[in-house]
Amino acid sequence: MSEISFHDLSSASAEQRASLLKRAEADLSVFVEKVRPILDAVRTEGDSALLRFVRDLDKADVAAGNLKVSEAEFDAAFGKVDKDVIDSIRFGITNIRHFHEEQRPETMWLKEVRPGAYAGDRYTPIGSVALYVPPG
């Protein structure tokens, strides 16, 4: 059985409070430093860097025109995954989408900070993103 730890935040130093409130998975700096060279290479070299990393890291020979997965490949992949896994993924997608839709800010807001002077923010979502997940 686990033991419960109690901490008096009113007597803890700022450093102790920060340490207690920090989630372990929030510090991604170790991972960021590992992937920074990859991100930099893709940013400067584009698809040629992606092809090199697929070859070097995944030991896969992918032609330049085959970086984008086709609808047929997605459909074929669904046939190789257990239905319970697909149902679980869809369940997660629904929950994640619902959670983040609630976080979506207003498209645009303005506040008059002085008579005739306005400040605000505009929310402009991006149209699409790419994601590369190496196997393993």
Instruction: Indicate the pLDDT class of residue 1, thresholds 50, 70 and 90.
Output: very low
Asked if pLDDT for residue 100 goes beyond 80, the answer is yes
Q: Amino acid identity, residue 101?
A: E
Domain boundaries, the chain: 14-67, 69-122
Residue type, 68: K
Predicted confidence (pLDDT) per residue in 44-59, tens digit: 999 999 999 989 988 8
DSSP conformation letters of 32-94: HHHHHHHHHHHHHHTHHHHHHHHHHHH-----GGGSSPPHHHHHHHHTTS-HHHHHHHHHHHH
pLDDT tier at 24, thresholds 50, 70, 90: low
Contact status, residue 96 vs residue 80, Cβ threshold 8 Å: no
Q: Indicate the residue type of 110.
A: L
pLDDT at 58: 87
Please, what sign has the CA dihedral across residues 78, 80, 81, 82? positive
